[in-house]
Amino acid sequence: MNRRLLRCLTGAVLAAASVVVPAGAGPAGAGPPGTAVDDSVGLLAAPDIALANVRAHLAQFQSIATANGGNRAHGRPGYLASVNYVRAQLDAVGYSTAVQSFSYNGATGYNLVADWPGGDPDDVLMTGAHLDSVTAGPGINDNGSGSAAILEVALAVARTGLAPEKHLRFAWWGAEELGLRGSQYYVDNLPAAERARIGGYLNFDMVGSPNAGYFVYDGDNSDGVGSGPGPAGSAQIEQTIQAYFGSIGVPTRGTDFDGRSDYGPFIRVGIPAGGTFTGAEGIKSSSQATLWGGTAGSAFDPCYHRACDTTSNINDTALDRNADAVAYTVWTLAGTPAPPGTTVYSDTFETATGWTVNPAGTDTATAGQWARADPAATSSGVATQLGTTVSGSFDLVTGPLAGSAAGDHDVDGGVTSVQSPSISLPASGTLTLEFSWYLAHLTNASSADYLRVRVVGGSTGTVLNVAGAASNRAAAWQTASANISAFAGQSVRIVVDAADAGGASLVEAAVDDVRITRS
């Protein structure tokens, strides 16, 4: 990672329920048979990237540096040897590779670009990392880590015979440490028509820092860092990466597009970009250490740009997670849909999968907020909260405790909401959202009280809208189903709201076994 540039981290029933979805549908597409499907995104599942394989590439980079004056820097023999090593790996499995040369500081530099056959040539997903080190050391974290991770993902593409809708291109850049010289040369020499074909660029620079943080480039400026969002489309990349880390229970924080790595030339010409970063010479704060572990008051990488940036300077957990994040992001954004008849997304709530309570920060309920929990049974003449779920022991429920009185943990004071993680829907097929639900209330309820389920993507569709009434309504599981094919090809979230919106009344609600299928 280039230090010379600016730094910044710093009364209705279901039959009468409203079902509304926007119009539209996507193009056809299908994946090869017999391949695992990722239920969280509705696409062919990315393989697990073996840490041992990534580590083996790092060992090769270390050996190359050791044999060539201790570094792999621009203009030095260790850099060209690194290019030759990566190229040989890719040529052996069927990539079309090309080495692009350029001059800087009186020395010849090289970019290695590798294309996987197939996919739409007018819709290129590009993944890159810089391959050079500084002259002071072998550059194993900076940036052998990113180079090795994307190399192993590229090899996994070949091993699995991936046939995505988009065309896949991988690149290893030269002279990044001298000011993004290689990637800038590549972008500057792309004809305008070729630039327009690149729909997104993924950048991975320093993904194994020993005192690691988990940073994701802030594509939509939602974290409020730096000067603003990236080009249109960057937010989708950010959300895809966040969805992966959310699925493994690892919190992330945004880091700005500060021009410090090889995404810089791409975003300057309007190409959407994103990626991950585990930290450089910046100091980990006490709050970051609480969030991620590690040592507060120490650099994320104490060997940044030093001779000690060797294979010992790697956090294996961070490297493993980030390599898998690279694969997940490539497989998801490349667009290889699950075959028809498959489950696109499912959640039984038996484990935490990244649903967020009060996602917009606008909830007004003072009690009975949504929770993923093992609910206690409650009643007041009729059952108001069920102690049994549709499957397993957990569901999404408003105020899961029983309390000493019937109204102790019901919804009070307004609206409580909960939102799913981002779900990437396939671009074709009939998509159906199914779930189980109940709304319970007593005679002090009114039509202002409700349970509502929406799908939110490029537009919003309400798939369930059940109002209360001034009558007893016992809790009883029911099922709902809605065609959401209008959202095909989009990244969406499911939002569930429950409200005690009239006068004080006893209102309880629950949702379980959410599933999206493609047929």
The lowest-confidence range among 36-40, 94-98, 292-296, 460-464 is: 36-40
- pLDDT at res. 13: 27
Across 101-133, b (16+ Cβ under 10 Å) vs e yields ebebeeeebbbbbbbbeebeeebbbbbbbbbbb
Q: In the predicted model, is pLDDT for residue 17 greater than 70?
A: no
pLDDT of residue 358: 96
120-130 and 96-104: which strand pairing? unpaired
pLDDT at residue 51 tops 50: yes
Averaged pLDDT, 235-258: 91
Which residue's structure tokens are 């909401």?
417
> In 3D, which of 301, 257, 177, 274 has the Cα closest to residue 7?
257
Find the DSSP H helices in 5-145.
Answer: 51-67, 77-91
pLDDT of residue 503: 75
Running DSSP on this structure, what letter comes out for residue 49?
P
Write out pLDDT tens, residues 349-386.
999 999 999 999 999 999 999 999 999 999 998 999 99
The band of 337, judged by pLDDT with boundaries at 50, 70 and 90, is low
Q: How confident is the model at residue 250 (pLDDT cuts 50, 70, 90)?
A: very high
Q: What is residue 43's predicted lDDT score, i.e. its pLDDT?
A: 55
**Neighbouring C-beta atoms of residue 204, cutoff 10 Å:** 30
pLDDT tens digit sequence for 265-280: 999 999 999 999 999 9
> What is the structure's pLDDT at 26?
27
- Whole-prediction pTM: 0.64
Pairing mode of beta strands 120-130, 166-173: parallel
Cα–chain center distance at 392: 27
Q: Is the pLDDT of residue 19 over 50?
A: no
Residue whose pair of structure tokens reads 């001059």 in the numeric block: 103
* pLDDT of 122 above 60: yes
**pLDDT score of 30:** 29
Domains and CATH numbers, the chain: 46-215+243-256+268-334 (3.40.630.10), 342-518 (2.60.120.200)
Name the active-site residue from 176, 177, 238, 508: 176
d(CA 238, CA 233): 9
Q: How many CB atoms lie within 10 A of CB 462?
A: 18
CA distance 439 to 509: 4
Q: Has residue 16 got a pLDDT over 50? A: no
In the structure, what pLDDT confidence band is assigned to residue 44 with cuts at 50, 70 and 90? low
| DSSP codes joined into one string, 331-363 | HHHHT-BPPTTEEEEEE-SSS----EESTTS--
Residue with the two structure tokens 């699995």: 160
Of residues 291 and 337, more confidently modeled: 291
| Segment holding 467, helix H or strand E | strand 460-467
> Worst-scoring range by mean pLDDT, 28-37, 57-66, 429-438?
28-37
Q: Of 89, 183, 188, which is closest to residue 132 (Cα–Cα)?
A: 183
In the annotation, is 165 catalytic?
A: no
Average pLDDT on 501-519 reads 91
**Of 411, 438, 416, which Cα lies nearest the Cα of 503?**
411
Q: What is the mean pLDDT of the chain?
A: 89
Q: What is the mean pLDDT of residues 1-11?
A: 41
> Once rounded to an integer, what is the mean pLDDT over residues 276-290?
97
Q: Is the pLDDT of residue 4 over 50?
A: no
Residue-wise pLDDT for 212-236, tens only, equals: 999 999 865 555 444 455 687 788 8
- Which candidate, 157, 483, 519, 447, places its Cα nearest to that of 326? 157
Separation CA 81–CA 85 (nearest Å): 6
